[in-house]
Amino acid sequence: MTRALALALPLFVSCFIGSCQKGPDDALTLSTHVYRILGEDTLRLDLRQPARPRADCAGLVFIHGGGFQGGRRDAPVASQFLDSLAKVGIASASISYRLSMAGRGFGCDVPTEDKRNAVAIAGADALAALNWLESSALLASHSTGWVVAGSSAGAETALWSAYVDAPDRWKGVVSYSGALDAATQPLLS
């Protein structure tokens, strides 16, 4: 990935702050879409499209936390954050992903390889969401790309997707309380 995290966050924040000149009544459209079906798993994303999209800012794909065993794409705090971005012209999508650690936990007793696998599975889902967003007719006018962000397990997923799975596909990455395993070898281009 040619863009470093240290550059992505200030760029995204500057787009956000620069767009705060818009009024608070700016409307947004919220819609839910299936972006992937794998066996019994139907994965959805909540797409927030601003009434007046900014042409100079990438959209944001947000991945919720929950230890790869819980959490929701429509959690109130994340929804409020994403609504505020849409109101100032920034599109966003909050995604669900496969919770491969459900019923097992993510504690110290879980083997490291199982944890790595959980991150990789969620990362594959993040990439599938990006593929859906890039090919969606709903977003034909959105051509500035997407930044991936997440909290906790979602942050680990965002880092994995941006540095391991698809470093050339994301415009940036924002990690809220997440890290990569020290043994992970990022694919830097």
Other CB atoms within 10 A of residue 102 CB = 13
The predicted pLDDT at position 141 comes to 62
Mean pLDDT of the region 112-119 = 94
CA distance 172 to 9: 8
Could you give the C-alpha distances from 120 to 31, 40, 96, 97, 114, in angstroms and in order? 27, 19, 15, 11, 10
Higher pLDDT, 188 or 76: 76
> Per-residue b/e over 144-156, b at no fewer than 16 CB within 10 Å?
bebbbbbbbbbbb
User: What backbone torsions phi and psi does residue 35 show, to the nearest 5 degrees?
Assistant: -110, -15
- Please tell me the predicted confidence (pLDDT) of residue 63: 98
pLDDT of 41: 95
Per-chain mean pLDDT for the chain: 85
- Distance, in Å, from the CA atom of 24 to the CA atom of 72, rounded to the nearest integer, reads 26
At 21 the pLDDT is: 46
Averaged pLDDT for residues 121-145: 88
Angle between helical axes of 112-135 and 153-160 (0-180°, round to 10): 70
DSSP per-residue codes, 73-85: TT-HHHHHHHHHH
Higher pLDDT: 106 or 2? It is 106
Per-residue pLDDT reduced to its tens digit, 47-99: 999 988 888 889 999 999 999 999 999 999 999 999 999 999 999 999 999 99
- Can you give the pLDDT at residue 7? 39
> What pLDDT is recorded for position 142?
66
